[in-house]
Amino acid sequence: MSRVVINNISWNRPDGSNLFHNITFACNNEKSGLTGNNGTGKSVLAQIIVNKILPSEGKVFTDGSVAYFPQNLSIHNGKSLTSVFNITDKYAALKKITAGNGSNEDFILMENDWDLEQRLLSAMQQTGIEYLEPEREFSTLSGGEQVRCVLSAMLITGPDFIILDEPTNHLDHKMREFIYTFVNTCKAGLLVISHDRELLRLMDRIIEITPSQAKIYGGNFDLYMEQRAVEIQAIENEVQAADNLLVKRIKEKEASLLRQATRTKATGNYYKDGGIPKGALNQLIGRGEKTLSRVKGLHEKRVTDSEKELQEAKAKLPVERRMKIDFINNSAPDGKVIISCTDVNYSHDGKTMLWKENLNFLLRGNERIHLCGINGSGKSTLLRLITEQLRPAVGNLKVGVSSIGILDQEVSLLNSRISIFDNMMHYSKGLIPEHELRIRLARFLFFKDDVYKKAGILSGGERMRAAMACLFAANNNPELILLDEPTNNLDLVSIEQLTLMLNEYAGALLVVSHDKDFIRDIAPDRELTLTRKS
């Protein structure tokens, strides 16, 4: 039985600042989903577990072998498949031995591992790539084949525990289904880092990490969300109660001080009219003022205590402040043609057409279209044709609006070398004053000095928020928004924020996404499926 124990793990960035501190949890043979906001260090924690990164403090204990599926598969570019499988020397030795050319060194190298070829074939069959030559270069494979190859590499070793870091990122529906099946049938213990809600529904429990703790929720993603909603509601009730108490104590303070001041004044007037000596009168008034000061101090302490209690209650709330976006509701008339595509096709080499059939479609008014197709079917190519980055080989493509917003998976509209604020200045074209730009950035949760962060150092969620801020910097309502896998690399909170924004937006949408939950939540009117010419 596999077991991984993370005991009081902390990790500091190169500048000495803390990424997370005293993270503790244990995994056995169950399926655990690891989630948390972008930037909380999920991938760093995974690499600490497999000894690719050393912790600043704490220890990791493992019982059994651990395999790791990295988020970035390009680390294998330039390698042969046997190198990815970590069997290059043994495989070459086995080939020489079976060909009758083996040396003593080859027999020593094999270490009686004579079922290597059988295990290799079995692993490749399990992932559906048995047709690939083991000597093939990794970068020549398709995205789906690369994923299957790395999974095969893990299966060859027969690990007791597997860590998968965002395994469904950039994958089409078919490959996502393959990952879901792999996870469902896996006998090893699993720790899955993901914001794919469908994948997280396959988990036995969810581990949510923050910079200061790991919190475990029994059950899959849906149960996690239910439990979390109950917790958040309880905290919000606590915040409301603390706020009510603060208001009550402020009113009590004001009323009490008013009564005491009135009493002191009335006492002074009474004895003044009664002919009491001036010295005695001043003493009476002085005692009254002291009483007023004492009462004021007592009430101020109660108000200060209530303010502290309110801040402590608010601090328990997750940092999930919804973005505030003021849209101008100038949606296009229902019949207005936004995109007209007639007999369009494209050729990368000037000879072979990309799509099996020429494309014909209209997008009218404020329609929402989900652009579907497997990886390589030309979805991103169509978006580049619409934005005139490419030209059709045949056919006619017309766009009936001038105001188009584009959010692609690389968030390429941001200039990574300059700050968020400077990006906003660029897209506002100098038409919006500085104080208004800061107000708009605050609506997208960028406050104070945050606006001066370089775009290149932002997390995935921050980049998407900054891009949306820039998108609406010059025009509060683009008539058409093009979305190319916008939820890739976003945490669950950022996906929710993006969804809220799009559901407030009244214009036309053309959306590329393999995230079923995201597509369901933004409710497209219809689908357009692309099929590549075989």
> What would the pLDDT profile of 390-417 be if each residue is shown by its tens digit?
999 999 999 998 888 888 767 888 999 9
Q: Examine residue 189 and state whether it is found in any structural domain, yes or no.
A: yes
How many helices and strands, by DSSP H and E, does the chain display? 16, 17
- For the ranges 141-150, 265-274, 287-296, 371-380, the lowest mean pLDDT is seen at 265-274
**In which band, very low, low, confident or very high, does the pLDDT at 72 lie, cut at 50, 70 and 90?**
confident
Report whether pLDDT(523) > 90: yes
**519 and 447 share one domain:** yes
Is there a domain that residue 325 lies in?
no
Domain membership flag for residue 326: no
Q: Is 330 within the bounds of a domain?
A: no
* pLDDT for the residue numbered 111: 85
Is 239 found in the same domain as 93? Answer: no
Is the same domain home to 411 and 459?
A: yes
pLDDT tens profile 202-222: 999 999 998 889 999 999 999
Q: Is the pLDDT of residue 163 over 60?
A: yes
CB 166 within 8 A of CB 193: yes
pLDDT for 534 beyond 80: no
User: In this structure, are 242 and 388 located in the same domain?
Assistant: no
pLDDT-derived band at 223, boundaries 50, 70, 90: very high
Torsion angle of the four alpha carbons 174, 179, 184, 190, in this order, in degrees rounded to the nearest 10: -170
* Residues whose CB falls within 8 Å of the CB of residue 272, separated by 6 or more in sequence, listed in order: 281
Last residue of a domain, one of 194, 227, 260: 227
User: Do 72 and 214 fall into the same domain?
Assistant: yes
Q: What is the pLDDT of residue 292?
A: 64
Return phi, psi of residue 283, to 5°. -65, -45
Mean pLDDT of the chain: 86
Residue 323 resides in a domain: no
- Kindly compute the dihedral angle of the four CA atoms of residues 155, 156, 157, 158, in this order, to the nearest 10 degrees: 50
* 397 and 256 both lie in a single domain: no
Show Cβ contacts of residue 256 under 8 Å, excluding neighbours closer than 6 positions.
Answer: 295, 299
- State residue 430's pLDDT score: 79
Say yes or no: 410 and 342 in one domain: yes
Q: Are residues 207 and 240 in the same domain?
A: no
Q: Is 31 contained in some domain?
A: yes
What is the total count of domains within the chain? 3
Which of residues 196, 227, 258 is at a domain's end?
Answer: 227
- 338 HSE (CA, 13 A, CB side): 23
Region 372-379: mean pLDDT is 87
> CATH no. for residue 514?
3.40.50.300
**pLDDT > 90 in the chain, percent:** 37
DSSP letters, 132-155, are S-TTSBGGGS-HHHHHHHHHHHHH
268's tokens: 């002074």
Do 218 and 249 lie in one domain? The reply is no
Residue 332's alpha-carbon distances to 27, 94, 115, 229, 531, in angstroms, are 53, 68, 66, 37, 30
CA pseudo-torsion sign 490, 494, 496, 502 = negative
Tens of pLDDT, residues 118-136: 888 998 998 888 899 888 8
Question: Does residue 511 fall inside a structural domain?
Answer: yes
258 and 218, same structural domain?
no
Q: Is residue 70 a part of any domain in this protein?
A: yes
State which residues form the domain around 370: 337-529
Structure confidence at residue 259 (pLDDT): 76
Report yes or no: 87 and 78 within 8 Å, Cβ to Cβ: no
On whether both 268 and 409 belong to a single domain, the answer is no
Separation CA 533–CA 527 (nearest Å)? 19
Mean pLDDT over 54-81 rounds to: 90
The closest of 225, 169, 226 to 192, measured between CA atoms, is: 169
Domain boundary among 189, 212, 227: 227
Over residues 301-354, the pLDDT tens digits come to 888 888 888 888 887 776 555 556 665 555 667 788 999 999 999 998 888 899
Q: What percent of the chain has pLDDT over 70?
A: 90
Cα angle, residue 84 at apex, residues 79 and 87 outer, rounded to 5°: 110
Is residue 268 pLDDT above 80, yes or no? no
pLDDT at position 21, please? 92
| pLDDT tens for each residue of 496-506 | 878 888 888 88
The reply to whether 201 and 268 lie within a common domain is no
| Cβ neighbours for 247, distance < 8 A, ≥ 6 positions apart | none
pLDDT score for 334: 77
